[in-house]
Amino acid sequence: MKFENTEIESLKADLNRLDEVMLDNGLVREGQWDYERVTYDRKFELKEGVFYLRIRGHVVEGEVDTNRAIIQLMTPLLGKYYYPHGVEYGEGEQFPTALVNQSKKIIDTVKAEVTKFAV
């Protein structure tokens, strides 16, 4: 599921500050990066299954491995995990309403915090 029209995709921010904001909101980067991209995930374990809120970004300046990069955020996603295949974001997926609402609140909080220092 894509969270369209959040305006988070219009934000560019310093990687180090972005890492802090994401972690404060339960989204972790860990090993989810390469030289040109980052991915922040928050895992939800519910009775309906395991779900991930994912906020991705790509480098517009610098490199992730040097921790000196400006990241352009992308449209947030919500997906359901299926063992052993991975996370599915498809249109046919069913997501609990409470999870969708919680995810929207997290996205709004991240957007508000990142907006304060966006470039």
Q: What is the pLDDT of residues 71-89, one digit of tens each?
A: 999 999 999 999 999 999 9
* 6, 111 contact by CB (below 8 A): yes
The partner residues of 109 in beta bridges, in order of sequence, read none
Residue with tokens 């990069």: 69
pLDDT range class, residue 90, cuts 50, 70, 90: confident
Q: Where do the domains of the chain lie? A: 8-115
Class of domain 8-115: alpha beta
> Exposed, middle or buried: residue 17 (CB in 10 Å: 0-12, 13-18, 19+)?
middle
CB 95 within 8 A of CB 1: yes
CA distance 13 to 23: 15
Residue 57, burial from CB neighbour count under 10 angstroms (0-12, 13-18, 19+): buried
pLDDT band at 35 (very low <50, low <70, confident <90, very high): confident
| Packed helices 97-115 and 15-24: angle between N→C axes, nearest 10 degrees | 140
